Structure 1
Amino acid sequence: MYKKQQIKKTWPYPVSIITKPGLRGMYIRLTRDKKVKVTAPLSMPVEDIIRFIDSRDAWIRKNLARMADPVSYECVTGEMHYFFGKQYPLHFFEAPSGGIALRNGRLEMDMTPRTKNRALLYRKLMKEELKKVLVHYIRLWAPQMKVRPTSVTVKVMKSRWGSCNVKTGELCFALDLVTKPEPCIESVVVHELNHLLETGHTPRFHALMTHWLPDYKERTKILTAWPREFI
């Protein structure tokens, strides 16, 4: 049972507070749209929650400042888009079937005369391109880590880069990863596969991440350096 806590105090950034039973500590998460989400035990006094947020104010401000501002995209010719960590102008061409490829320093999107919604087609093609890269890294890392994921899907995710159902082995990844450099995508893949070895973000989980990818923390920081497109 979750409870959204109403607190009269305000901060210079949007804060939402959720209390849950069974928690032992408080946690802060920054969303991609620059919001602060705080999770606290259901029995935690409001005054303690306020003090906790105030104690992390410098950290919150520092990391919010590092995050790129959201960008609005219209999916028109010449518009700049990130594709696996590099920026390219988008160009459209009529073709027998839909597809997308890097040609002549441009991100060229083929579409049929029947295409009515360019943005929808672009999103569909980006899902296909990202899934190819995800499958590549899953096939590379799963045998090394001795885990067996069962499936991989891609969808728009607002507050996380990926998820893992530890019971079924199903993996899900944020479509926005298609805009990030491949080392960052690889790190997210290893992160989700690692949950098949250790469910929570425990000391053992982070020790395993360091074992697989010694620079995983640096890769994680880079994830927030690019504007969010698919949210």
Structure 2
Amino acid sequence: MRIVISGIPIDVQKKNIKNMHLQVKPPDGHVVISAPLSVDDKAIEAYARTQLGFIKRAIAQFQEQPRASRRQYVSGETMYIWGKQYFLVFKSDNQKNSFEIQNQNIVLSMSAKSTVKQRDAYVKEEYRKILKEEIEKRLPKWEAQTGLKCDSWQTKYMVTKWGACSTDKKKLWFNLQLAQKPYACLDYIILHELTHLLTRKHDATFIAHMDRYMPNWREVRKELNDSRLDYYEAQDESPLQKLIDQSRYDDIRDAAIAYIQEEHSGDAKRLSVIDMEIENVIHIEQLEDGVIAFDVIASCDVEMPSASRKGYFNERWLKIHCQVTLGIDMSGFRIMSVGNCEPQEESDN
């Protein structure tokens, strides 16, 4: 169901919940109200009108937020390396490909007949070189300082994580997009993932270790999570990879937050979900012709209100049951249910 208040379309979803929730979602600031099954349409409309001021402010924030556009890799586009802004200059060169920083510009030389996909793949590899060079310098310093050492590490493009740690293999993963962020963000992720070699959870041991070696890690984490993710079109994704794209990650994250906050709706102090990471996609099955179902396993860091401890985190694991319609664009995505599940080991999937 959709209602329109002061020219603003609002999607209404009736669910088996106790309280009404309103969300203004990225990337464009569309508005969604989740309401109990027993609440009538007039009550929902009245509730929306009482929230109109908040809705308009939230939409304005999304509209004003700088966002990367779909890249074509032509002259004039903006690019970032270690938090510094550059302007792309494309030069036609049929002899060799090159990627060079010249003052305020990044000069990309490739064939004029090269496709966007080819340019994107080449630029990603250049970012990989930049990131790996910096990790090779910084990781040993953090290992020596903390006494924690990984057996191996690798870089890859990730949608939902800045980094990951396979504790059993002592292997670290770093998101290619870290090369675009300030150096402090890379240091934070290196320390974060190294600390998981000490404890897999974001528990008191994890927090104490982070506090000891990077007292301002909360501020750096906020800067990283608030920063702009670059737009990369995954033109060669498999159908399985298309199950979780950026927009569906946002929907899954919103559903997880709403579920946890609903559980604690009666608490005096409102808790907040700081981070959510998708750990795995399991139980993929075809329910009927053209429709598949799957479970998303997610871990959430929940900051618990506490009078005695600052920044106390509780790790929650959830299973989000989803459905999607098969096809080229994998449309018709729906979240069917959210529930608790047991912690799972880090997955390479």
Would the TM-score normalized by the shorter structure come out above 0.5? yes
Residue 229 of structure 1 pairs with residue 226 of structure 2: no
Alignment-mate amino acid for residue 99 of structure 2: I
Higher RCO (Cα < 8 Å, 6 or more apart): 1
Q: Deviations over 1:180-230 (max 9, x none)?
A: 101111111110011111211001101100111111111111113432115
Q: 2:90 is matched with which residue?
A: 92
Q: Aligned ranges for residues 1-231 of structure 1 at < 5 Å?
A: 7=15, 11-13=22-24, 68=65, 70-72=67-69, 73-93=71-91, 94=93, 97-111=96-110, 115-116=114-115, 117-229=118-230
Q: Contact conserved, 2:148 with 2:194, CA < 8 A, in 1? A: yes
3-state SS, counterpart of residue 86 of structure 2: strand
Alignment-mate amino acid for residue 12 of structure 1: Q
Structure 2 Cα separation of the partners of residues 195 and 159 of structure 1: 18
Q: Percent identity?
A: 25
Residues 68 and 173 of structure 1: CA distance in aligned 2, closer, same or farther (over 3 Å): farther
Structure 1 Cα separation of the partners of residues 189 and 28 of structure 2: 21
Alignment-mate amino acid for residue 134 of structure 2: V
Give aligned pairs, total. 185
Quote the offset at 1:86 in angstroms.
1.1
In the superposition, the TM-score normalised over structure 1's length comes to 0.68
Residues 226 and 202 of structure 1: CA distance in aligned 2, closer, same or farther (over 3 Å): same
Quote the offset at 1:173 in angstroms.
1.1
In the superposition, the TM-score normalised over structure 2's length comes to 0.47
Residues 213 and 99 of structure 1: CA distance in aligned 2, closer, same or farther (over 3 Å): farther
Q: Contact conserved, 1:176 with 1:230, CA < 8 A, in 2? A: no
Q: Contact conserved, 1:161 with 1:177, CA < 8 A, in 2? A: yes
Q: What's the RMSD between the two structures over aligned residues?
A: 3.2
Structure 2 Cα separation of the partners of residues 161 and 68 of structure 1: 21
**Structure 2: gaps spanning 5 or more residues:** 1-13, 30-53, 233-349
Structure 2 Cα separation of the partners of residues 153 and 34 of structure 1: 33
Residues 142 and 33 of structure 1: CA distance in aligned 2, closer, same or farther (over 3 Å): farther
Structure 2 Cα separation of the partners of residues 188 and 34 of structure 1: 28
**Structure 1: gaps spanning 5 or more residues:** 1-5, 15-31, 36-57
Structure 2 Cα separation of the partners of residues 123 and 204 of structure 1: 36
